[in-house]
Amino acid sequence: MRTPLIAGNWKMNGSAALVEDFGRAFPRTVLPASLDVVVLPPFPYLDMAQRAFADSPLELGAQTLNPLHSGARTGEVSGQMLREFGVKYALVGHSERRQLYRENDEAVHDRLLAALSVDITPILCVGESLEERDAGRTMEVVLGQVGYVMARLEPVQRPRVVIAYEPVWAIGTGRTATPGQAQEVMAGIRKYQASFDRELAAGMRLLYGGSMNANNAAELLAQPDIDGGLVGGASLKVDDFLAICQSAG
Q: Which of 166, 225, 227, 240 binds ligand PEP (CB under 6 A)?
A: 166
Query: Which is nearer to ligand PEP, 143 or 244 (by Cβ)?
Result: 244
Q: Which of 59, 94, 103, 109 is catalytic?
A: 94
CA torsion, ordered 37, 42, 45, 51, to nearest 10 deg: 20
Q: Give which of 194, 104, 184 is closest to 158, Cα–Cα.
A: 194
Report if residue 183 touches ligand PEP, rule: CB under 6 A: no
Closest approach of ligand PEP to the CB of residue 208, in Å: 9
Q: Consult the annotation and say whether 9 binds a ligand.
A: yes
Closest approach of ligand PEP to the CB of residue 222, in Å: 18
Closest approach of ligand PEP to the CB of residue 210, in Å: 5
Active site residue 69: no
Report if residue 212 touches ligand PEP, rule: CB under 6 A: yes
Active site residue 109: no
Q: Consult the annotation and say whether 10 binds a ligand.
A: yes
Which positions make up the binding site for substrate? 9-11, 172, 211, 232-233
Instruction: Give the catalytic positions in this structure.
Output: 94, 166
Which parts of this chain interact with ligand PEP (CB under 6 A)?
A: 9, 11, 166, 171-172, 209-212, 230-234
